[in-house]
Chains A and B, each alone.
Chain A
Amino acid sequence: MENKLCIEFKNITLGYKKPGETISILKNINLSFFKGDLIGIVGLNGVGKSTLIKSLSGLLPVLKGEILIDEKPISNYNLNELAKKIAIVLTEKIGGFNLTAFDVVSAGQMPYTNSFNKLSNHNLEIIDKAISICGIAEHQNKLLHELSDGLFQKTIIAKALAQQTPIMLLDEPSAFLDFASKHDLFLLLKKLTEEQQKCVLVSSHDLDLILKYCTKLLVISNTGIELISVSEAKTNKAFHEIGGGFI
């Protein structure tokens, strides 16, 4: 089966601009990600995992080079089109304003609603499905501050699901989940890549989960960035360092 090229990094330099200076985090990257890939992003803290995810989602402009989504540069997509291509899950907390879990998940359908944001039956179906897949059905009417950290994280993941995007980016989604839920999450991600051919990039410090469920690894270290298959992981020097000798 031929995997279609999904994301391409062409000579990318990633970083961010502060007043008066430009800080490059990752330089001259050339990578390709395909549909059906479940890619685990590993690296020590501060090495650039979040920067990579933010740049890929269009939140942070690249310093040099181009990111292509479905062979089209990100800059050629308007915001709404991009919203239908990439969904992100971050660790930041949101809340207040009477927002319930349901409200957050339904935000995932915003790229598909009219300007008054009316939810049609079709929209509602997709939202309900995302809620049940993530297992938060009985908590959906709770206010955000009433949810535990784990449930909150699942809610955001459900939102990303409801967004129906071919690409999903998750920044440390397993951080607050209990043991079983961590596995549930990765199983779900694996299912999404296999059944729906999504391209999923997930960063995590849970190296054993990454090794168990992901198809590829994106190893980020001081020496650079490498895309390797899971089988090559154990012999990879950078990965070994990240593992601290424990894995």
Chain B
Amino acid sequence: MQENTGIKFLVLIVLLFIAGYLSLFFAGSESITVSELTLNNFIFWQIRFPKTLTAILAGSTLSAAGLILQIIFRNPLAGPYVLGISSGASLMVSISILAGGSLNLLSNFFIGKSFIVVSAIAGSVLVTTLILAISKKVNSSVILLLIGLMISQICGALQAGLEYFSDATSLKSFVTWGMGSLANTTNFDLLIYLPIALVCLLGLLFFIKPLNALLLGENYSQNIGVNFNSSRFYLILISSVLTGLTTAFCGPIAFVGIAVPILSRMIFKSSKQQLHLASCLLLGSIILLFSDTLANTLIKNISLPINMLTTFIGAPLVIYLMFKNKSW
């Protein structure tokens, strides 16, 4: 069993390198070869590199957030999107872009970006808090998920309202942003994105016991010495920061948060959450890197929206695997 795990991880790491290589050198208007790479190749360092790093960060943060949510709600159908958290973050980004525009905050890069990131995280945390508060009154996970879906619908409707009344330029902005993109970040953006993501992901290392204990439910986890309420609080906080952060930089990216943890549990039969955390980071990155490559190479000179790839490749795959393998 142990050996198997090691080999699987090795395979994933190799896949990560391959996917990263493809994304860096092929996913764009032209392919670059390693030998012709120089330090002042603008396309490589300012366009490809941030895009690839963003793919890795987005894949890691969203799948970690999904893993946490599935553990907290003890349900594989949980994820940042289905619980309305992404929608809350998206709505706040739209509002902050409008507000920032009229308050003239957006003309300074750092202030403008930070404003948007903080708003996205705030939206994320707000929805998550709402869901948590409701979860104290509601015992069933299924009902909670339905409520999350409703919240997602409400946020979507409010967003549609904003779009309805906005001018052509803002509308274009919302619509393209809503399609999700890994290529919207510059190296400057990464100076904000990377550290926050790393802090959150590394912070999860302090929660390995709670992540494992929470699988047993509130009563048993409390009995074996894990503070259920406080662990749940911090874990949900981390997952909403992760979701809000990525949504702020990439727009809403569908499917990754819910599917990657499920895939991880199908590949690795262990119930050790520390293992799944590591594999989710790898799997999430690999999936987004390959999606990015496909998005840029499927049709010549056209760059497809990333959500098309993640949804069309991922969703059927998970449905197929879930039918094949009865236990999740």
Contact = CB atoms under 8 A, between A and B. Distances in A.
Contacts of A98: 265, 268-271, 327
B225 A111 contact: yes
Contacts, number: 84
Interface residues of A, number: 34
Interface string A101-130: 001100110110101110000000000000
Contacts of B271: 97-100, 103
A99 B221 CA distance: 14
Contacts of B17: none
Size band of the interface chain B makes with A:
20 to 34
B12 interface: no
A204 interface: no
A108 B70 CA distance: 22
Interface string A53-80: 0100111000000000000000000011
Interface string B64-75: 000000110010
Interface stretch (A82-90, A212-220, A228-236): A82-90
Interface stretch (B33-41, B170-178, B191-199, B209-217): B209-217
A153 interface: no
A51 B71 CA distance: 27
A79 B219 contact: no
A86 B223 contact: yes
Given A79-B222, A79-B226, A86-B223, A110 B270 contact: no
Nearest to A99: B271
Interface string B2-26: 0000000000000000000000000
A115 B206 contact: yes
B225 A82 contact: yes
Given A110-B209, A111-B225, A117-B208, A97 B219 contact: no
Given A103-B271, A117-B208, A117-B209, A94 B226 contact: no
A87 B223 contact: yes
B213 A110 contact: yes
A54 B215 CA distance: 19
Contacts of B71: 97
Contacts of B215: 94, 96-97, 99
B224 interface: yes
A7 to B, nearest CB: 16
A87, A90, A94, A145: residue with the most chain B Cβ atoms closer than 10 Å? A94
B224 A59 contact: no
Given A92-B217, A97-B265, A98-B265, A79 B274 contact: no
Contact of A143 (B70, B219, B327): B327
Nearest to B327: A143
Contacts of B327: 96, 98, 143, 145
Contact of B225 (A83, A99, A143): A83
Nearest to A110: B224
Q: Which of A97, A99, A117 has the most CB of B within 10 A?
A: A97
Contacts of A116: 208-209, 274
B212 A117 contact: yes
B227 interface: yes
Contact of B224 (A94, A99, A163): A163
Given A98-B268, A117-B208, 10 more contacts: A54-B219, A59-B223, A83-B223, A88-B219, A97-B265, A97-B328, A99-B215, A115-B206, A116-B208, A116-B274
5 contacts: A98-B271, A107-B216, A108-B224, A110-B226, A116-B208
Interface of B: 70-71, 74, 76, 206, 208-209, 212-213, 215-217, 219-220, 222-227, 265, 268-272, 274, 327-328
